[in-house]
Amino acid sequence: MNNSIRHVLGISGGKDSAALAVYMKRNYPQLDIEYYFCDTGKELEDTYTLIKNLESFLGKKVTYLEAAKDSNKDPFDHYFNLFGGYLPSPTARWCTKKLKIEPFEKFVGDTPVISYVGIRGDENREGYISTKPNIQSIFPFRQNIWSVDIIAKVLANTNIPFLSKQYQQRVSEERLPRFISVIEEPITVEFTKEQKLKALLNLDTVTFNHITFEFLKSTSYPLANVHNFPLLDNEDIYKMEDVVELLRETVGMPNYYTKLPFKTESENGMYARSRSGCYFCFFQQRIEWIWLYEQHPDLFNSAVKYENEKAGFTWNQHESLTDLIQPNRMEQIKSEYLKRTKNEKPKSNKLLDILPKLDDEGCTACFV
């Protein structure tokens, strides 16, 4: 393995990146992976516990990256002041840029880097693709380990002659016609890039990976600098249940995923937090705000203070946190949540079935 490229893996505090760290240590111990965590200063205590558990399992330290390290405030507060008390929101996400992406890009500098990202095989979202050409993302939990930009280049219609030649060299005469019929069909509205990719991966994932690796040699992507890459032979696909199982048997699931009982006037229910990240993250659902209020009142009060700093700025659209915890409103949110989740009753007592329901909103820098 060429030492001039670095291998890095970001721990977000969520289950998927933690599981990926465990997976890489178990399956690819020959890779000298650097683990990092972008600390906003506003994480839940459970996140720091998870990182400690991971450090013992991995036998190495997770590097804490802090934006505005020389500031006397913690990273979030430093930028919150700099932006004049303007709270971040889904449409103005200065926090992700300043607290996650910029510290990460500074950490890797200009060295070619492979960044391993824990997006699962049962998810339909892409990871953060750096605009820096020296950072290449790899997705070991998916059948397609490559990022969208690479797939677009490999499968470009202009690249058909290259693919055709490569498959002719690597696939037996008997199997070749099946491959050639897929390769030579150009991408069109009727036969999309995604369909072509799926067809090639389903025919033979490992061969597709080796050909993509060969293609990269003619580019400036980081993997052009190495002679071999063990993940080319990876055929694993990790889904939610695999991730949960892996964490259960090693470092444990972060505690905030554990569902706890709550009451309404007429019913009982269960709630939890569904993702990692800052305790006041604006991506959380209203029921999670109530979870924060009831389970971590000190943190909830701190979130309220941010709203009070500037009139009109709230974490949620159209509703302040003070309004959200009025008794009638809490009752309404809890009842609506129960109604919405009624048909999602646990099928078993397996951890997978009692996890809070996750949605795909959010960003991969904070919630993998």
Q: What is d(CA 163, CA 172) in angstroms, rounded to the nearest whole number? A: 15
Are the CB atoms for 365 and 96 separated by under 8 Å?
Answer: yes
Three-state DSSP string of 335-352: HHHHHHHHHHCCCCCCHH
The distance of closest approach from Cβ of residue 319 to ligand SF4 in the complex, given in angstroms and rounded to an integer, is 17
Q: Check: CB of residue 313 under 8 Å from CB of residue 87.
A: yes
278 lies in the binding site for ligand SF4 (CB under 6 A):
yes
Which one of residues 33, 68, 281, 333 is an interface residue with ligand SF4 (CB under 6 A)? 281
Neighbours of 110 (CB within 10 A): 10
Q: Residue from 14, 222, 254, 277 that binds ligand SF4 (CB under 6 A)?
A: 277
CB 89, min distance to ligand SF4, A: 9
User: Which residue, among 123, 114, 98, has the nearest Cα to 34 in the 3D structure?
Assistant: 114
Interaction between residue 88 and ligand SF4 (CB under 6 A): yes
Task: State yes or no: residue 99 binds ligand SF4 (CB under 6 A).
Answer: yes
Among residues 25 and 93, whose Cβ is nearest to ligand SF4?
93
Q: E strands of the chain, at which residues?
A: 6-10, 33-38, 63-65, 113-116, 135-138, 260-263, 268-271
Q: Write out the DSSP string of 84-123.
A: TT---BTTB-HHIIIIIIHHHHHHHTTS-EEEE----TT-
Q: Which stretch binds ligand SF4 (CB under 6 A): 59-67, 107-115, 174-182, 274-282?
A: 274-282
* 73/190 Cα distance (integer angstroms): 54
Beta bridge pairs of residue 152:
none
- Nearest approach in angstroms of CB 80 to ligand SF4 is 10
Segment contacting ligand SF4 by CB under 6 A, of 91-99, 119-127, 180-188, 205-213? 91-99
| Angle in degrees, 0-180, between the axes of helices 205-216 and 193-203, rounded to the nearest 10 | 120
Query: According to the binding rule CB under 6 A, does residue 140 interact with ligand SF4?
Result: no
CA distances from 120 to 14, 23, 42, 129, 228 (A): 12, 12, 26, 16, 24
Binding segment toward ligand SF4, per CB under 6 A, in 49-57, 94-102, 229-237, 325-333: 94-102
Q: Is 312 strand, coil or helix? A: coil
**What mask of x and - would describe binding to ligand SF4 in positions 24 to 53, judged by CB under 6 A?**
----------------x-------------
Q: Using CB under 6 A, which of 5, 95, 135, 253 touches ligand SF4?
A: 95
Which residue is nearest to ligand SF4, using beta carbons?
Answer: 277
Q: Which is nearer to ligand SF4, 221 or 315 (CB)?
A: 315
User: Residue 144, interface with ligand SF4 (CB under 6 A)?
Assistant: no
> Among residue numbers 251 through 270, which ones bind ligand SF4 (CB under 6 A)?
none
Please report, for the chain, how many H helices and E strands are present, in that order: 17, 7
Distance CA 33, CA 18 (A): 13
Stretch that binds ligand SF4, among 139-147, 171-179, 275-283, 344-352 (CB under 6 A): 275-283
Q: Does residue 274 interact with ligand SF4 by CB under 6 A? A: no
Tell whether residue 283 is a contact of ligand SF4 (CB under 6 A).
yes
- Alpha helices for 98-204 (secondary structure H): 102-108, 148-154, 160-170, 176-183, 193-203
- 28-36, 155-163, 277-285, 321-329 -> range binding ligand SF4 (CB under 6 A): 277-285
Q: Which of residues 295-314 bind ligand SF4 (CB under 6 A)?
A: none
- Distance CA(227)–CA(214), nearest Å, equals 10
Among the residue ranges 19-27, 96-104, 153-161, 252-260, the one whose residues contact ligand SF4 (CB under 6 A): 96-104
Nearer to ligand SF4, 338 or 366 (CB): 366
Closest distance between ligand SF4 and the C-beta of residue 278, in Å?
3
368 counts as binding ligand SF4 under rule CB under 6 A: no
**CB-based contact 14:273 (threshold 8 Å):** no
Q: Is the CB of 272 or the CB of 363 nearer to ligand SF4?
A: 363
* Contact residues: ligand SF4, CB under 6 A: 40, 88, 93, 95-96, 99-100, 277-278, 281, 283, 363, 366
